[in-house]
Structure 1
Amino acid sequence: MDMNVLIPLLQTVDSAFPTGGFSHSLGLEAFIQHTGTGRCAKNFGILKHAFVCILENSGSLSIPFVRAAHSAIVNRNVIKSEQTEHHTLVQLDKMCETYTTNHIARRASTRQGKSFFEVACFTYSHLAQELRSAIVDLPHCHLPVVYGAILAGLGVDENTTLTTFMYCVVRSMIATAVRLDVLGAMEGQKVQFLLQQLIPEILDRNRTRSVGDACMKFPVIDVLQNTQDTLFSKLFYS
């Protein structure tokens, strides 16, 4: 990969990139409270199951939108054949809003999407000129749509874009588990390494999934996340 692409990519996926991701638990906090999962060896299987469910849902629901948004930017000046699926960023954003039925997840996605867009355009001045007109009109700014568009604008290829999106999901899950004290810092790194090995398989199963086929494979974690606002005590916004 071109170093002029790789270095900004590393900056973008770094946890220090201020997109507000640390305010959102991806439904993990509600899951832990409702299942009573604590920090002990016997509960690790339950926690690992939650991790896998979140990863699978991200692959089947979000990856199609990341891929389509990336394609919309890369191919914006290319004439599409009638057989090729093509959506504008506005259409993708509206579809993502419709498909994200959980109001907590929808709120988290739009907040992070707006933050990601603002920080990226502030950091990379050329993006502000190239993509602002394409993204500024988005009615909701869902994170998968914005992420795919921004990385395409940075010149990152599709496969790397999808892989880093899933990496960010894993990274956020582990950071959440450590902050909730169900994993230790060192243990979290070990679990993250194991979960990262699932990314290629998840991508292979969802790489060709169209946005029309985007879905939630494991609805229980989504239902539990829907109760985030009703938790008596909580550390995360979603």
Structure 2
Amino acid sequence: MSDWLTWQIVDSAFPTGAFAHSWGLEAAWQHGEVSNLSSLRAFLDASVQQTGFAVLPLLNAAYARTGDLEGLDALADAFTLNVVANRASRVQGRSLLATATRIWPSDPLLALKRQAEATCSHLAPVSGAVFRIVGLSLSAAQKVALYGTARGVLTAAVRLGIVGSFEAQRLQFSCGPLLESVAERCHALTPDDLAQTAPIVDLLQSSHDRLYSRLFQS
């Protein structure tokens, strides 16, 4: 069951609104920091590693302690100082929770939704709690988060015209060993291990609202 559920959640048709976000790629592209295949690969690698150290610690904790959403969400809010990333995390977290309660209505999810009303509903802790309730294994939940970042960056790259669809798919395939490595390295991280590993990506993303024209929300 877990495998089928995983595939459903990572499907691009799963309605969480992720298509509206570029993980900072649009700003990096407009500033000239990403302009070709090699610079896109560097951006992709940095983004995946950042997910491992900034998302998985909170996801892991929320998966283990679904009743502690408020405290973990407050930590996520304090850690995510970049206004653009903070907003994107809140929007996607609320969207995931709303989608989950409509697709898999249950008392635990409804209780989580009520609990989240007093929080910012950041994506990392919401993901951990939701995925635990709907029945994903922790390993699958971690890989969903990592895969979502890789797919999101590459989908944005195609829509921005940085690479074509086939190049993006080759990049995604070649990213597999890194995804596996980050999943293994970060599988047991706790909130005490939270770290910003891609400060340049974070800085570029923070300028998103000041871009002259924008295709994405973040």
TM range (shorter): over 0.9
SS at match of 2:88: helix
Counterpart for residue 64 of structure 1: 57
* More divergent stretch after superposition (131-140 vs 222-231): 131-140
What is the distance in 2 between the residues matched to 1:6 and 1:141?
26
Cα displacement string for residues 68-108 of structure 1 (whole angstroms, at most 9, x for unaligned residues): 111113xx6xxxxxxxxxxx111101100000010100000
Q: Which structure carries more helix by proportion?
A: 2
SS at match of 2:55: helix
SS at match of 2:23: coil
* Kept after mapping to 2: 8 A contact 1:65/1:211: yes
Letter in 2 for 1:20: G
Counterpart for residue 192 of structure 1: 172
Cα displacement string for residues 48-76 of structure 1 (whole angstroms, at most 9, x for unaligned residues): 11111111111110010111111113xx6
Counterpart for residue 30 of structure 1: 27
For 1:211, which of 185, 191, 212 is the aligned residue?
191
Report the alpha carbon displacement of residue 137 of structure 1 after superposing the two structures with TM. 2.2
Counterpart for residue 108 of structure 1: 88
* Kept after mapping to 2: 8 A contact 1:135/1:146: no
* Kept after mapping to 1: 8 A contact 2:24/2:201: yes
SS at match of 1:125: coil
Letter in 2 for 1:210: T
**Larger Cα-atom Rg:** 1
RMSD (Å) for aligned C-alpha atoms: 1.4
Counterpart for residue 39 of structure 2: 46
Q: How does 1:127-206 map to 2 (within 5 A)?
A: 129-138=107-116, 139-206=119-186
Counterpart for residue 223 of structure 1: 203
TM-score by length of 1: 0.87
Could you tell me which runs of 5 or more consecutive residues in structure 2 were left unpaired when the two chains were aligned: none
Report the alpha carbon displacement of residue 209 of structure 1 after superposing the two structures with TM. 2.2
Letter in 2 for 1:221: V
Change (3 A) 1:196 1:135: farther
What is the distance in 2 between the residues matched to 1:182 and 1:163?
26
SS at match of 1:26: coil
What is the distance in 2 between the residues matched to 1:208 and 1:122?
30
* Kept after mapping to 2: 8 A contact 1:55/1:166: yes
How many pairs does the alignment contain? 216
Change (3 A) 1:36 1:162: closer
Could you tell me which runs of 5 or more consecutive residues in structure 1 were left unpaired when the two chains were aligned: 77-87
Counterpart for residue 84 of structure 1: none
Cα displacement string for residues 15-62 of structure 1 (whole angstroms, at most 9, x for unaligned residues): 111111011110011011112543xxxx32211111111111111100
* Kept after mapping to 1: 8 A contact 2:34/2:43: no
Report the alpha carbon displacement of residue 176 of structure 1 after superposing the two structures with TM. 0.4
For 1:16, which of 9, 13, 16 is the aligned residue?
13
Cα displacement string for residues 83-138 of structure 1 (whole angstroms, at most 9, x for unaligned residues): xxxxx111101100000010100000000000110011101122xx1122134222
* Kept after mapping to 1: 8 A contact 2:21/2:88: yes
Letter in 2 for 1:31: A
What is the distance in 2 between the residues matched to 1:134 and 1:119?
13
